[in-house]
Amino acid sequence: MANTAINISNSTKLNIYSYNLKGINQGRSLLTDLCTLKNAHIIFVQEHWQTPANLPKILNFHENFIGYGISAMNNVISKGILRGRPYGGVATLIHSSLADRVVCLKCEERFVVITLCNVMFINVYMPCSSLLLQIISRLYNLLFMN
């Protein structure tokens, strides 16, 4: 888990946390603690392991946060029954006090891109080096080619 505080303007300090859940069941306790912190504004979550049907479990995890993300298993589930354990998934949780200033630009299996005021935030999960160039290429195209 990582915590970073940044200033979005001269008067607003944002606290950003990043947490690899390794499954929502395993990470639920600490994620609950993060959501109840008075100073938590943005929480980047990786490896929530939610199927499309269970995605609301992470996107609506806490009443004070609004979630953006998709399941990493959309393609697998659309083809039939999931075999093996669930995997992947990236979500960004935004404190509800900031929700009216957030725009979600893109959600994919490995990243979520949002803007808050004039600042862009990218939550990216890169589990292995073989996907690194593909993910960076997708982000580059999103940021510089559109």
What is the value of pTM for the model shown?
0.86
Neighbours of 122 (CB within 10 A): 16
Domain hosting 10: range is: 2-144
CATH of the domain at 66: 3.60.10.10
Q: How far apart are CA 78 and CA 69, in angstroms?
A: 17
Burial category of 79 from C-beta neighbours within 10 Å (exposed 0-12, middle 13-18, buried 19 and up): exposed
Residue tagged 């004039």 (tokens): 118
- Counting the structural domains of the chain, the total is 1
Helical residues (DSSP H) of 11-131, grouped into ranges: 24-36, 56-59, 74-78
The one-digit pLDDT tens for each residue of the chain (146 residues) are 666 655 555 556 889 999 999 999 999 999 999 999 989 999 999 999 999 999 999 999 999 999 999 998 888 887 888 777 778 899 999 999 999 999 999 998 889 999 998 899 999 988 777 778 888 888 888 888 76
